[in-house]
Amino acid sequence: MTLGSVMLDLAGLALTAEERERLRHPSAGGVILFARNFESPSQLDKLTAEIRTLRSELLIAVDHEGGRVQRFQQGFTRIPPMRMLGERWETDAAQARVLAEAMGYVIAMELRAHGVDFSFAPVLDVDFGSSSVIGDRAFSDEPEEIAELAGGFIAGLAAGGAAAVAKHFPGHGFVKADSHLEVPVDDRELRDIEAADLVPYRELIRRGLGGIMPAHVIYPKVDSRPAGFSPVWLKEVLRGRLGFGGMIFSDDLSMEGASVAGGVVERAQAALAAGCDMVLVCNAPQAAGEVLDGLSAGPLDHARAECMRGRRATKPLASDLRYAAAVAAVREAAA
């Protein structure tokens, strides 16, 4: 069965009757989980199994970056913020990259063990000291360091069977406003963004990056529309100039930064027309229903979707020596 282009969220620890109907809708293609959907690893196992029983092909994702953004905690390894890796880089770059790979491996192995395909990570935003919503989620204020550390993190994810989704393209780190609450505007010229923010993307796309999430930020010197609704950013720059061939996920369409595109159906249509493959509708159950019923879109690109599907672990976590070593390294670094 083909997948649709809408990723939906859930209200609680198990599927409701209404959510079952929505996930059966042909426009549905995935589920994003939040902390409210997690009570314990065993409960998460039941929830993801319930989703798979309903429609086995649905993608299941979560924001599980580490630091402030780690939805699953009890029974999962606590991952420190990515800034810690940037700080470690200053004293031992090689060791920092090894640790980045260990973090990616732990995240992937633990998510895959509980039926989750991938995390919306890593954050590639350059820390310009302006954005509190990004803050220590960013690896560094140096684009080249970000590329190297994120490269290690992504390699760890891949080794653990999970694809990466880099965010927030082309960069959310320069603006002070939080796109969850406002419509941020970044007045820089394209050449300035290319010289800093796009450096990690350029390098990691070359290495085969699987997914990207654009920012709900307007860059008026490039386009009057936020990046997630901009064919200039997504088709001309990302697909064309940078050569990205993977999945493009919109950021949550219920965020204030998306409001400039109109109602929620108009937002979804605008994001898909601009070049997004899949749109996220979170924390707004009524809006989710409106998008499913009102959206006219073809099926999700099969090859891109399959690249985001998690691979099965070859051995149980308890017998994976690489996993045990990676957990020990992460815990020592976080202590």
Among 251, 252, 277, 320, the one annotated catalytic: 251
| DSSP SS3 for 88 | helix
Give me the long-range contacts of 259-268 (CB less than 8 A, separation at least 24). 259/183, 260/183, 260/218, 260/225, 260/226, 260/229, 261/225, 261/226, 261/229, 263/290, 264/290, 264/291, 265/290, 265/291, 265/294, 265/295, 267/229, 268/6, 268/295, 268/297
CB 50, CB 23: distance < 8 Å: no
285-294 and 264-274 helices, crossing angle to 10°? 60
Query: 58: exposed, middle or buried (C-beta count within 10 Å: 0-12, 13-18, 19+)?
Result: buried
Number of continuous H segments (helices) and E segments (strands) in the chain: 12, 10
Q: Catalytic site residue 168?
A: no
CB 287, CB 255: distance < 8 Å: no
Which pair of structure tokens corresponds to residue 194? 């290319």
| DSSP SS3 for 185 | strand
- The Cβ-side half-sphere exposure at 206, using a 13 Å CA radius, reads 10
Q: Catalytic site residue 251?
A: yes
CB 33, CB 10: distance < 8 Å: yes
Phi, psi for residue 247 in degrees, rounded to 5? -80, 140
CB 176, CB 124: distance < 8 Å: no
Provide the annotated active-site residues: 180, 251
